Chains A and B, each alone.
Chain A
Amino acid sequence: MKTKYMDTISILLIAGVLSVVGNTIGYKHPWDIALVGYLILVVITLLGMALADFLPIKLPMVFWISVIAIFSTCPVSPIDKTVLFYTSKMDFLALTTPILAYAGLSVGKDLPMFKTMSWRIVVVALAVYTGTFVFATIIAEMVLRMQGLI
């Protein structure tokens, strides 16, 4: 358990340096404020992971992390302004670039299997991803219009 958290923390910190570098180049945010913002995100993430590990109720990590993150900035939170000030300087898109670089760098392990697959299943995969995105969008559009929200 202890080594698991040590690994987790070190990966999060290394990725933090990479994210702040990209954030400074691509989005021109001050690096020191962004770094504090990143560290706040790390603390919330670790708290959520700890809750998922130690609470007897079995709910996914994503749930606990979201609960703490949402609570920290919701209108009744005493620290919402502070958290938002710092984390807003750590751009969402700057976070995604290193994440997808890691995703790309892990693709090689799946490529041998990918090459053995038929083109048919690739077409089906495109339909699956398109279907889930487009149908949800259509329903959202209809309901939002009916409610008069857009």
Chain B
Amino acid sequence: MILKNWRIHAWVLVIVVICEFMGTQKIPLGPGVLLFLPMLYAMVIGGIVSWPRLKLIKLEEMNASSKALSLLALLLVTKLGVLIGPAIPKLLQAGPALTLQELGHFLGTVILGLPLALLLGIKREAVGATFSIDREPNIAIIAEKYGMDSPEGRGVMAIYICGTVFGAVWLGLLAGYLGAMKIFHPFSLAMGAGVGSGSMMAAASGAIKAIFPEYGDQILAYAGASNLLTTVGGIYFCLFVSLPVTNYLYKKLLPILGREKDKEAAK
């Protein structure tokens, strides 16, 4: 199993060495900076290597790589856990903030995503696409309720694929940029970074840590705690609150924001 896919690990070794030698780069842009961390290059170089037309790696190797990814995401959870331990007293103090900001994680996807999707003429796909951040546990919810052949199923899959392709890169750049603008305290940004996806959380919290090195491990402790709440709480919250709320808002907003013919149909 391992020996069969040794090439994928060799690729990772080459990529890691190149990326760590390149180091972190900052490019000022407007009021913030574009922050490029080694992990960002790693994602992009990896993506290029796996470009199907280049035929550098086989499909089964990509699948093995995806399996390694989900396993190593657990190791990241462990690393965050050992950083959370010593910070427990501080985290308890910030308990109200940690709990309430989860509402932002669970409903922020709908608030921004749903109206935009309707304005762009997307219909029932919008419900699956915006009810959550659409990682594996959320797909399971949609699969069970609507099936994967439904418009809702296509919506959730589309955002899932986007997440795999550019989610981490986007969140890394966004978090770095917002951080450098110094509007928000690093602890708030760190909590925001706990979006409930291992790679996106890593990219976002890594960027925040790089902007505010003086807060170092505290940033990771807040991000880790928030990510844990999002992941564990999300299973229930998305099923019992987010999905019904998204459906309700869809019904209310479609006649206002939808395309003309959809408005008629919705009346």
Is chain B found bound to chain A in the same assembly?
yes
Complex interface: chain A residues within 8 A of B110 (CB)? 131
Which of B20, B88, B134, B185 has a CB less than 8 Å from the CB of A150?
B185
Q: Does A36 contact B (CB under 8 A)?
A: no
Which of A18, A77, A106 has a CB less than 8 Å from the CB of B85?
A77
Q: How far is the CA of A31 from the CA of B94 in the complex (A)?
A: 35
Q: How far is the CA of A12 from the CA of B165 in the complex (A)?
A: 24
Chain B 181-197 interface mask (CB, 8 Å, partner A; 1/0): 00011011101111110
Residue pair A83, B82 in contact (C-beta under 8 Å): yes
Q: Does A2 contact B (CB under 8 A)?
A: no
> Which stretch from B26-34, B56-64, B247-255 is at the chain A interface?
B56-64
Main secondary structure of the interface of A (DSSP, over half): helix
Q: How far is the CA of A148 from the CA of B113 in the complex (A)?
A: 32
Which of B17, B137, B191, B235 has a CB less than 8 Å from the CB of A136?
B191
Residue pair A96, B20 in contact (C-beta under 8 Å): no
Residue pair A136, B228 in contact (C-beta under 8 Å): no
Sample of 5 further A-B pairs with CB below 8 A, known A77-B85, A92-B83? A44-B81, A97-B16, A106-B50, A111-B52, A130-B174
Ranked nearest first, the 10 interchain pairs of A and B with the lowest CB-CB distance are A104-B46, A69-B81, A73-B85, A137-B192, A135-B108, A108-B50, A131-B112, A136-B104, A135-B104, A26-B20
B residues with a Cβ closer than 8 A to A are 1-2, 8-9, 11-13, 15-17, 19-21, 23, 37-40, 42-52, 57, 59, 61-63, 65-69, 71-86, 88-89, 93-94, 96-98, 100-113, 116-117, 120-122, 125-126, 129-130, 133-134, 137, 155, 158-159, 161-168, 170-171, 174-175, 178, 184-185, 187-189, 191-196, 198-200, 202-206, 209-210, 217, 220, 224, 226, 228, 231-232, 235
A residues with a Cβ closer than 8 A to B are 3, 7-8, 10-12, 14-15, 17-19, 21-22, 25-26, 41-42, 44-45, 48-49, 59-63, 65-75, 77, 80, 83-84, 87-88, 90, 92-114, 117, 120-141, 143-144, 147, 149-150
